[in-house]
Amino acid sequence: QSALTQPASVSGSPGQSITISCTGTSSDVGGYNYVSWYQHHPGKAPKLMIYEVTNRPSGVSNRFSGSKSGNTASLTISGLQAEDEADYYCSSYTSTYSYVFGTGTKVTVL
Amino acid sequence: QVQLQQWGAGLLKPSETLSLTCAVYDGSFSGYYWSWVRQPPGKGLEWIGEINPSGGTGYNPSLRSRVTISRNTSKNQFSLELSSVTAADTAVYYCARHCSGGRKAFDIWGQGTMVTVSS
């Protein structure tokens, strides 16, 4: 199974909104509403930001939102803050009863 | 607050078996799915496999022939074994809990263990 495709980097100024895409196939992203997103600061454990495409775990800011269209899922960060600077990974359940992660996106706050 | 504490050998030689254990503290062990995920240096995350509340397992097809995930319910622990390691298995390895209800996302993660394979 191939990794889901994400842009290598996305940047924005404080207060702006950015969107990270995550493209897969009908065997993963397009076939299931089991897309999740993780924020990963180097040297720390990943943090779940979105699960089942649109759901935010308790404690995650409502500035983070998720969506999906066809084989592409998206994570939008609104009101960008300096603390949002991190790597972000999408993940999807797949038709082989496994999980695949995205290639990762480095978010830079200008 | 649930915490995952993981440990295991950090330096292996090619062909040896990687062995890591993850202990669950201050939370329920039974009733949850548990997974292992790794991240090679400079690369993205890769799911290795899971163990479910019944003790059944599921593995990444690319690693299935070399992976075994097991559990010890009396100790609230689960373990990873990866046989015949090579330099390509050098990575930070994380244990993780699936969200409640068997949801297909990982809400609690261990601190990570760096495993280096080198002769």
CA B95 remoteness from chain centre = 4
The pLDDT value given to residue B1: 87
Residue B102: is its pLDDT beyond 90? Answer: no
The pLDDT value given to residue B40: 97
B33: burial class by Cβ within 10 Å (0-12, 13-18, 19+)? buried
**Angle A27-A28-A29 from CA coordinates, rounded to 5°:** 125
Which residue among B47, B59, B109 places its CB closest to the CB of A45? B109
| Chain B nearest-CA residue for A103 | B44
Chain A contact for B58, CB < 8 A?
yes
- Contact residues for A82 (Cβ-Cβ < 8 A; gap 6+): A14, A109
Question: B58-92, pLDDT tens digit by residue?
Answer: 999 999 999 999 999 999 999 999 999 999 999 99
Q: What is the mean pLDDT of residues A64-86?
A: 98
How distant is the Cα of B23 from the closest Cα of chain A, in angstroms? Answer: 16
Measured CA to CA, the distance from residue A33 to residue A26 in angstroms comes to: 11
